[in-house]
Structure 1
Amino acid sequence: MSDQLAAAILGLIQGLTEFLPVSSTAHLILASDVLKLDATKFGLSFDVALHLGTALAVLLYFAGTWWSLVADLAHGRWRMPGLVVVGTLPAAVAGVLLESAVERTLRSPLYIVIGLVVGSIIFIVAERVAHQRRSIGELGFADAVYMGFAQAIALLPGISRSGITISAGLTRDLHRDEATRFSFLLATPVILGAGAKTLLDARKAEGLFAQLDVVGIGFVVSFLAGLAAVAFMIRFLRTNSLNWFVGYRLILAALIVAAIVAGVLPTQ
């Protein structure tokens, strides 16, 4: 497989699964183990490109919302920007303190299976208890912190950042599409922060964009796939539940278990 095709596939996986509630980490790890697509061979600058592509997708889709938040700040209205900030902090702190430990100990097929199953149970419970009677405008700071801690849990592979934060929103009685919108707003600073951290690491380790064609392909594909995934999720969850994704997650978990038993995938 050519480097360019591998970059396109990895960009597609990153862009789609970053926003679909199926766990981007799980799919990227499986792409490495099953398809032998090793993103690390392209260097940290490629990882930066994927993060920037998905971040640009959600920034562009919610450009009007972000502009409104900036306007609120300019006019001294702190409530909505404050909700985004406090909702982002738990995941940001967890990422700084725990990401390295999680990378070392929990990024294995077996832990992915556990995350996929646990996440599916969370989706089902959230949909069962949801009343869907509140909008983002009715959120309080306690709600934002609650959803922020949910986003922090998504550091564990297999859980899904979008899935668990949408579920958290549902348990706070948000309308499903409103929970989805706020989930993506909270994800944006985290994705940008992860990209910025990787960018600094890349500058120290290798310089920037040594393989410009591969980096460019990864960026463009992750951006387009991310934009499509965000638009799909907003439309789909207006009238459909997270339970539609539970079946996929459980089938994927079963296939991973079968691959482990067959010796195709390692347990660690």
Structure 2
Amino acid sequence: MDAFQAVILAAIQGLTEFLPVSSSGHLVLPQTLLGWADQGLAFDVAVHVGSLLAVLWYFRVEVAGILKDWFGSFFGGGQNENSRLGWMVIVATIPAVVAGLIFNDFIELNLRTGYVLATTTLVFGVILGLVDRYAKHTKHLADIGLRIALIVGFAQAIALIPGTSRSGITITAALMLGLSRSDSARFSFLLSMPIIAAAGSYKLLELIQSSADVPWDLLFIGFAVSAVTAYACIHVFMRWVERMGMMPFAIYRVVLAGILFAALAN
């Protein structure tokens, strides 16, 4: 990997990590169409840290309020909307963590293929479009209880399958359960923080245990570009999501799936 490739791959990661379009489906395109080598474990860690920093900074006020009230509930502060939301984020994170521990090796060995990527990109894109079109968007973050948190959490576990899109399937599940588009996206982004932190920590542990050389200059490029592009992407998405809905992303996923299938056929 050279500096140009690092910039492009980090930008792809940052722009697609939080959109409902499958970051893994996009990252495979440079490899398939241009013959680029796999970005490697160390680079994965760097761009994950960059994405995590971006979402934490964008939602810093909400995160600070949730943490303050969640910890405060243990010391006589009582339960409020923030502390309950903190519990719901924890509940919704558990299924994906458990599924990752159980199925990660199986998925890596059997499901990380081009055809799986293309198929899941297509199928879950169609489902996203249908749910966005026909679901009622009347509920808000305050309405999230155990049932909604668990269903969205199990949906997030399915995102371990390449091409599904973590943000895509959690937003789809939240929309299906009646949340507004903006609050579906907001809850999905809140859920991304512990998951990205867990995935990044797991990859970092793998990196420490490996004997691979660490190209620090490329890692810094990946971290910085991923952080900036992810923050910009979140900012634009949250401003426009209610107005444009999810249909543009559903259509885009169908087109992307077609490109992936065509590339695999050649």
TM superposition score normalised by structure 1: 0.91
Verify: 1:225 aligned to 2:213, yes or no.
no
Match of 1:126 among 131, 142, 156: 131
Q: Do residues 65 (structure 1) and 62 (structure 2) align?
A: yes
Question: CA–CA distance in 2 between the matches of 1:35 and 1:96?
Answer: 33
Q: CA deviation at 1:146?
A: 0.6
Q: CA deviation at 1:173?
A: 0.8
- Does the 8 Å CA contact 1:22/1:249 hold for their aligned counterparts? yes
**Alpha-carbon contact 1:122-1:164 (below 8 Å) kept:** no
Structure 2 match to 1:18 = 17
| 1:138-184, Cα deviation, whole Å (9 max, x unpaired) | 11011011111111111112221111111111111111100000001
1:183 aligned onto 2:188? yes
1:219 and 1:39 map into 2 onto residues whose CA distance is: 17
Structure 1 gaps, min length 5: 264-268
Does the 8 A contact of 2:126 with 2:254 survive in 1?
no
Structure 1 runs, 4 residues or longer, greater than 4 Å off: none
* Equivalences, count: 258
Deviations 1:211-237 (A, max 9, x none): 111000000001011111111221121
Deviation (angstroms), 1:14: 0.7
CA distance in 2, matches of 1:73, 1:16: 31
Task: Give identity over the alignment, percent.
Answer: 39
The code of the aligned residue for 2:243 comes to T
2:235 is the alignment partner of 1:238: no
What secondary structure, in the 3-state scheme, does the structure 2 residue paired with 1:75 have?
Answer: helix
CA-to-aligned-CA distance 1:64-84 (integer Å, 9 cap, x gap): 111011111232144221101
The reply on whether 1:201 has 2:203 as its aligned counterpart is no
CA contact (8 A) 1:44 1:202 kept: yes
8 Å contact from structure 2 (residues 93, 195) kept in 1 = yes
3-state DSSP of counterpart to 1:157: coil
The equivalent of 1:260 in structure 2 is: 264
The CA distance in 2 between the partners of 1:109 and 1:140, in whole Å, is 37
Match of 1:52 in 2: 49
In structure 2, the CA distance between the partners of 1:16 and 1:247, relative to structure 1 (3 Å rule), is same
Q: Tell whether 2:164 aligns with 1:159.
A: yes
- Give 1:132 shift: 1.0
**1:191: Cα distance to partner?**
0.6
- Give the residue type in structure 2 aligned to 1:79: R
Alpha-carbon separation, structure 2, partners of 1:93 and 1:181? 23
Unaligned 5+ segments in structure 2 are: 74-78
CA 1:255/1:219 → structure 2, altered by over 3 Å: closer, same or farther?
same
For residues 182 and 115 of structure 1, what CA distance do their matches in structure 2 show?
A: 22
Deviation at 1:128?
A: 3.1
Q: Structure 2 CA distance, aligned partners of 1:254 and 1:124?
A: 16
Residue 174 of structure 1 is aligned with which of 154, 179, 186? Answer: 179
Question: How far apart are 1:258 and its partner, in Å?
Answer: 2.0
Distance 1:92 1:74 in 2: 22
Q: Aligned to 2:21, what secondary structure does the other structure show?
A: coil
How many Å separate the matches in 2 of 1:258 and 1:39? Answer: 20
Query: In 1, Cα distance between the equivalents of 2:96 and 2:236?
Result: 25
From 216, 220, 243, the counterpart of 1:216: 220
